[in-house]
Amino acid sequence: MDAFLQFVFSGLTVGAVYALVALGFTIIYNASDVVNFAQGEFVMLGGMITWFAHDAGLPLWAAALIAIALTSLVGVALNKLAIEPARGAPVISIIIITIGASILIQGAAQLVFDKQIHRYPAFSGDAPIEVMGATILPQSIWVILGALAVFVALWLFFTRTLMGKAVLATANNRLAAQLVGIDTGGIMTLSFALSAAIGALAGVLVTPITLVSYDVGVALALKGFAGAMLGGMGNPKGALVGGLVLGLLEALTAGYLSSQYKDAVAFIVILGVLFVMPQGLFGKTAAERV
């Protein structure tokens, strides 16, 4: 029982990161029906910029805020320089553009920072908390609570605000949204900024646990995408649940089978969703967007 609980704690921690990445996918998908495979690089930038700024002497909280702000600007630049000029192109072309942007951001981070693995101090210390014979790090609680807070904020944004409903309207019919006075260009810019900020927040929260380097974004993007698909692409609740379930499956696979199979779980989830339930766990809700 102790071992099982330990695997659950580990899975929830990693799953919360996947959920944050999946939530970033959800925002951009809701605004444009495009899957942004550069989302994992936003997580990497959040961790790397925070480390760089903290190493330069800034307090950790200030370094984290700077990282989130600068990563948001990178998201806006991605939209303005790469996505908007391709407006009207097939969706697959835009997806390929985001993959190219991911490679570009990764290469730029390698030049601006370095190739080393980095870590900065945990927010509340490294002393583990014991629960029923298992232990959980205080930073893991920060990660889990951060994912829950972002989910609640996004749910309120999409369901309770005019701006959130404008995002959904833009996704469903861009021309109709323009005809009723919605600034669809501004909506896209906002969506990329929010998505990048959420990715950066994930990087800020998880780096004290998993460490960060210039090349961590690809795996995070894949697993965040798997979590978003499992929950139902475009559904914030699905993104949260899908990310947490994927993290738990990974942890249990590594614990009871072998850590060598852990990374295969994301591929199996993607294939399973495509073949068995293409709409995901909450697909019907996602299909009823207004």
Assess if residue 289 is contained within a domain: no
Q: What is the CATH number of the domain that holds 134?
A: 1.10.3470
Q: Model confidence over 33-75: pLDDT tens digits?
A: 788 999 999 999 999 999 999 999 999 999 999 999 999 999 9
Structure confidence at residue 285 (pLDDT):
45
Cα–Cα distance between 173 and 185 in angstroms, integer?
Answer: 13
Structure tokens at 81: 């320089």
The 3-class SS string of the chain reads: CHHHHHHHHHHHHHHHHHHHHHHHHHHHHHHHCCCCCCHHHHHHHHHHHHHHHHHCCCCHHHHHHHHHHHHHHHHHHHHHHHHHHHCCCCHHHHHHHHHHHHHHHHHHHHHHCCCCCECCCCCCCCCCEEECCEEECHHHHHHHHHHHHHHHHHHHHHHHCHHHHHHHHHHHCHHHHHHCCCCHHHHHHHHHHHHHHHHHHHHHHHHHHHCECCCCHHHHHHHHHHHHHHHCCCCHHHHHHHHHHHHHHHHHHHHHCCHHHCCHHHHHHHHHHHHHCCCCCCHHHHHCCC
Is 37 within 8 Å of 221 (Cβ atoms)?
Answer: yes
Assess if residue 95 is contained within a domain: yes
Structure confidence at residue 34 (pLDDT):
82
- The total domain count for the chain is 1
Q: Mean per-residue pLDDT for 227-244?
A: 88
Cα–Cα distance between 121 and 45 in angstroms, integer?
Answer: 17
Q: Model confidence over 101-128: pLDDT tens digits?
A: 999 999 999 999 888 999 999 998 888 8
Assess if residue 158 is contained within a domain: yes
151 vs 270, higher pLDDT: 151
| Across 140-144, 148-152, 227-231, 274-278, least confident range | 274-278
Could you give the residue ranges of the DSSP H alpha helices within 122-235? Answer: 138-160, 162-172, 174-179, 184-210, 217-231
Q: Mean per-residue pLDDT for 7-35?
A: 89
Structure confidence at residue 172 (pLDDT):
76
| Across 37-51, 124-138, 167-181, least confident range | 167-181
pLDDT surpasses 50 at 287: no
Is 247 within 8 Å of 269 (Cβ atoms)?
Answer: no
Q: Mean per-residue pLDDT for 172-194?
A: 86
Domain carrying residue 9: 2-276
pLDDT surpasses 70 at 198: yes
Structure tokens at 17: 């990161």
Assess if residue 286 is contained within a domain: no
Assess if residue 283 is contained within a domain: no
Q: Which residue has the tokens 């930038």?
A: 45
| C-alpha closest to that of 238 among 13, 18, 5 | 18
Assess if residue 284 is contained within a domain: no
Assess if residue 17 is contained within a domain: yes
Structure confidence at residue 286 (pLDDT):
42
Assess if residue 287 is contained within a domain: no
Q: How confident is the model at residue 290 (pLDDT cuts 50, 70, 90)?
A: very low
| C-alpha closest to that of 218 among 84, 53, 98 | 98
